[in-house]
Amino acid sequence: MKDQTRTVGSLIDRAGVSIISSVDRDGFPNSKAMLPPRRREGIARLFFTTNTSSLRVGQYLADPKACVYFFDQRFFKGVMLRGTMEVLRDSAAKEMIWQDGDEMYYPKGVTDPDYCVLCFTARSGRYYSSFKSEEFEIAGD
Amino acid sequence: MKDQTRTVGSLIDRAGVSIISSVDRDGFPNSKAMLPPRRREGIARLFFTTNTSSLRVGQYLADPKACVYFFDQRFFKGVMLRGTMEVLRDSAAKEMIWQDGDEMYYPKGVTDPDYCVLCFTARSGRYYSSFKSEEFEIAGD
């Protein structure tokens, strides 16, 4: 794939939904649709808002192994990013991606204890396009 | 949830895409978009077509733990079904869900060794609607 960060980044930016997956304590994969990432740093790091009380947060605290998947149904393209998910509850992280209107989900505002940040760090990926899949590595920090 | 099989079944039937997830040998969840199930028996069993040579088939042969996720982006609804995925390569299973036009993907027809059936058996689920999640069990055979 030419210009991996641009090709995959563009697919992420155009996707209306993120599918995030975790592994539960019984070893089963768990998947869920979430809003697109609130912020991305290349394709190596993605930030999402979520509820601290959510099932997924508890699963990531117990096992940070994660994948995030984006797809374009019309053009049969998809990308899976494999990596780890960190749960951030410090005010700097929470303020960084807070947006006006988030009060609808977190009535107490940016300090709402039920508001937290999921920070995903990708280590590798798999890109699907034109009926072919391609694995790729992602450089770390 | 009232009439679980009907509510969840209707969400499955309206979804344009299935997200299937597995766990890889390093313990990471892996997710992928696939076509809607070719056949479903209530919500306890779903059948998909796929390539025998695909990454996912290899993962399910090593670890059958799976989840299948369907969502309705417009109405913020989703359902995750947890269970096991079986890889069927016998001709009865392959013939059962074969359709005209599948030659496009499997040029050798219904006996194409690269064509196989994924049979998902659900044991439990989690339904999301109106900003609330609900766990449910699914009766076995």
**pLDDT values of chain A reduced to their tens digit, one per residue, 141 residues:** 889 999 999 999 999 999 999 999 999 999 999 999 999 999 999 999 999 999 999 999 999 999 999 999 888 899 999 999 999 999 999 999 999 999 999 999 999 999 999 999 999 999 999 889 999 999 865
Distance from CA of A88 to the nearest CA of B (A): 21
Q: What percent of chain B has pLDDT over 90?
A: 91
DSSP A102: G
Residue written as token pair 């039920």 = A114
Contact criterion met (CB < 8 Å) for B73 and A19: no
Contact criterion met (CB < 8 Å) for A126 and B80: no
pLDDT tier at B65, thresholds 50, 70, 90: very high
Q: What is the pLDDT of residue A140?
A: 67
Q: How many CA atoms lie within 13 A of B127 on its CB side?
A: 20
Is A78 in contact with A72 (CB distance < 8 Å)? yes
Give the pTM. Answer: 0.95
Looking at this predicted complex, what is its ipTM?
Answer: 0.94
Please provide the DSSP assignment of B69-122 as one string. Answer: EEEETTTTEEEEEEEEEEEE-SHHHHHHH--TTGGGT-TTGGG-TTEEEEEEEE
Chain A positions in Cβ-Cβ contact with residue B67 (cut-off 8 Å): 21, 28-31
* B35-51: average pLDDT: 96
Contact criterion met (CB < 8 Å) for A82 and B30: yes
Distance from CA of B43 to the nearest CA of A (A): 17
Query: Domains, chain A, ranges and CATH?
Result: 4-137 (2.30.110.10)
Partners of B46 in the beta sheet? B40, B120
The string of pLDDT tens digits covering residues B76-111 is 899 999 999 999 999 999 999 999 999 999 999 999
Please give the Cα distance from B114 to B39 (Å, whole number): 20
